[in-house]
Structure 1
Amino acid sequence: MKTRNQTDISEFLLLGLTEDPALQPLIFSLFLSMYLVTIMGNLLIILAVSSDSHLHTPMYFFLCSLSVNDICLSTSTVPKMLVNILRQDQSITYTGCLSQVCFFIDFVGMENCLITVMAYDRYVAICHPLRYTVIMNPHLCALLVLLSLLLSSVVALLHTVMLLHLSFCTDLEIPHFFCELAQVLKLACSDTFINNLMVNLVAVLFAGVPLSGIIFSYIHIVSSVLRMPSSGGKHKAFSTCGSHLSVVSLFYVTGLGVYISSSVTDSSRDSAVASVMYSVVPQMLNPFIYSLRNRDMKATVRMLMGKTASVM
């Protein structure tokens, strides 16, 4: 195949989830609905936490940060897909594609870091309750979020800069609904050994280290809860962790499912369909998990919806 220097490339083609034109309206409606639910659900979480002074705690500060990140993560991929379907145009500019790669890696990394920070917050709250307000002070909370953003941004920029040095073949079709790093690397005609090495190294670090931290936190949390004398205290402690555990399970299980499906199938299209489970679905479900399983959040959301209904 002929190669083209990266400076000569004007656009890539996003082939989407299917080549069947008859299914495009259905896919458009489905993803539009999921995107709107994601935006409205996460905005509701942010509004609920902002409006209720009782929720101005580290746990809900991190939850707000997660909601903002979920909005950004969905916005980095879904709107471009919807526009392409609406215009019946599969193209995405070279700059747009690399920007999408950068933002997607950034927000996925940020999500990973935030749920790890939230696990640490629960560990301090349950295992060191008397020192909780001292340890989880506003300065530390802000620092943890900023460090998460900095770390994920550095990794995303590093991957993007390394992509800039690649040459691509004349076949620039991406069998996906967004510019996923692995799919873009497959189109390169130059050596991608360093790129793939970096992908695997970052994947191990970003999956292994945070997950180990979460497991470590919950081992100590379970140990502390089991030593509590009252059943009411145990129930309250477990209930505060239930929502976070659900989010952690959803994030890692869907990510692992996509990894396994891409390993056992040679079809890039099947991998693209599977990737919906970690790139779109968790961001849509996170607000429901927290609003339905958390009593304080549920009460605040009901109050907001009641005020909205009375105004209308």
Structure 2
Amino acid sequence: MAGQNYSMVTELILMGFSNFPRHLLPAFFLLYLLMYLFTLLGNLLIMATVWREHSLHTPMYLFLCALSTSEILFTVVITPRMLVDMLSTHHTVTWAACASQMFFSFTFGFTHSFLLMIMGYDRYVAICHPLRYHVLMSNRGCARLISWTWAGGSVMGMMVTLIVFHLTFCGSNVIHHFFCHVLSLLKLACGNENSSVTLGVILVCVSALMGCLFLIVISYVFIVAAILRIPSAEGRHKTFSTCVSHLTVVIVHYGFASIIYLKPKGPHSMDSNTLMATTYTVFTPFLSPIIFSLRNKELKNAIKKNIQRKLIPLSS
């Protein structure tokens, strides 16, 4: 970070939910706390089930474990800070804490999108090239793909963070958000380059998200074409059912992300922006384990079997 950042603004004040009616905060706190705990437990349950069941040791579930890991880390970075904000009117953070918060949120966010993209590629290979599946999606190849998603997410997170914190910040040091949200932080920057950097950051985020979405859509175009060539209705339904959970999570992920990055300009209040941010930071990780557990029959049966295996010894 440039030295002039420290000389002009030494710390940042996160307002969080300080403008919300105080009588509503206990209900919000309890709701988000329960969702946070469910997100952690749900993703840990998925990871433990895949680990224990040898029938699930396939590329699709290996990618699912990587996705659960990304969601857990993203939730751990963001949600506790939000819960703390609900218990206090405001609090201050240092530049280093703000930069690390932004870096990890971007890293896990981009990694999540990259993982959804390669999960779409996995479904494309499985349905369109089944005879070559074990060659194209070998264990080493899957591990390499997962490593590239984490590396790519880290590079993107570092790049955006360095661009933002290279700016000069002066004047107000109040952020109307519950964490160092990039768009809220950019409003505090001064100088002629502020608008161009803001536009650049938005373009980078939108380009990465839309690029991944475009490749996912292309994968499903080929998948649908292959499914339509299956003669029996039962075969078409069975094949498409392997894609339903992934496709649903993609819709949820990009639907909530568009609320943050593609919402139309207008007279949005600070409180409405904060609430809209919770849709992406809280609801998306909360819904993913539910969708995969309920819409994936193989995983759902494995979870039931593991729970019954744990309960039977206790009852006996």
TM beyond 0.5: yes
Aligned equivalents of 1:84, 1:280: Cα separation in 2: 15
Contact 1:261 1:271 in 2 (8 A): no
| 2:47 paired residue number | 46
Match of 2:268 among 260, 266, 269: 266
Aligned equivalents of 2:273, 2:108: Cα separation in 1: 20
Gaps of 5+ in 2: none
| 1:13 paired residue number | 13
Query: What secondary structure sits across from 2:179 in the alignment?
Result: coil
The farther-off stretch of 264-273 and 120-129 is 264-273
| 1:232 paired residue number | 234
Query: Which letter does structure 1 place at the counterpart of 2:257?
Result: G
Match of 1:291 among 276, 290, 293: 293
The farther-off stretch of 81-90 and 154-163 is 81-90
| 1:28 paired residue number | 29
Match of 1:245 among 244, 247, 251: 247
Partner deviation per Cα, 1:30-54 (whole Å, 9 max, x = no partner) = 2211110110000001001000000
1:184 maps onto 2:185 in alignment: yes
CA displacement at 1:160 relative to structure 2: 1.4
1:97 maps onto 2:81 in alignment: no
Match of 2:257 among 238, 255, 258: 255
Query: What secondary structure sits across from 2:268 in the alignment?
Result: coil
Aligned equivalents of 1:204, 1:184: Cα separation in 2: 18
Query: Which letter does structure 2 place at the counterpart of 1:305?
Result: I
Query: Which letter does structure 2 place at the counterpart of 1:279?
Result: T
| 2:69 paired residue number | 68
Query: What secondary structure sits across from 2:301 in the alignment?
Result: helix
CA 1:28/1:204 → structure 2, altered by over 3 Å: closer, same or farther?
closer
Aligned equivalents of 1:270, 1:112: Cα separation in 2: 25
Contact 1:12 1:92 in 2 (8 A): yes
CA displacement at 1:88 relative to structure 2: 5.1
Partner deviation per Cα, 1:73-119 (whole Å, 9 max, x = no partner) = 11111112223434555222221111111111111100110101000
Partner deviation per Cα, 1:110-166 (whole Å, 9 max, x = no partner) = 011010100000000000111111110111111111111111111111121223322
Aligned equivalents of 1:282, 1:270: Cα separation in 2: 18
Contact 1:38 1:71 in 2 (8 A): yes
Identical aligned pairs, as a percentage?
38
Q: Say what the alpha-carbon RMSD is for the aligned residues.
A: 1.8
Q: If the length of structure 1 is used for normalisation, what is the TM-score?
A: 0.93
| 2:157 paired residue number | 156
Query: Which letter does structure 2 place at the counterpart of 1:7?
Result: Y
Aligned equivalents of 1:274, 1:266: Cα separation in 2: 10
Contact 2:39 2:285 in 1 (8 A): yes
Partner deviation per Cα, 1:193-252 (whole Å, 9 max, x = no partner) = 442243133123212221111111001000000101222221111100000110000011
| 2:135 paired residue number | 134
1:201 maps onto 2:203 in alignment: yes
Query: Which letter does structure 1 place at the counterpart of 2:175?
Result: I
1:214 maps onto 2:188 in alignment: no
The farther-off stretch of 263-272 and 143-152 is 263-272
Contact 1:174 1:183 in 2 (8 A): yes
Aligned equivalents of 2:31, 2:176: Cα separation in 1: 19
Query: Which letter does structure 1 place at the counterpart of 2:100?
Result: S
Query: Which letter does structure 2 place at the counterpart of 1:228?
Result: I
CA 1:263/1:26 → structure 2, altered by over 3 Å: closer, same or farther?
same
Contact 1:18 1:269 in 2 (8 A): no
CA displacement at 1:185 relative to structure 2: 0.7
CA 1:231/1:105 → structure 2, altered by over 3 Å: closer, same or farther?
same
Q: If the length of structure 2 is used for normalisation, what is the TM-score?
A: 0.92
Aligned equivalents of 2:92, 2:206: Cα separation in 1: 32
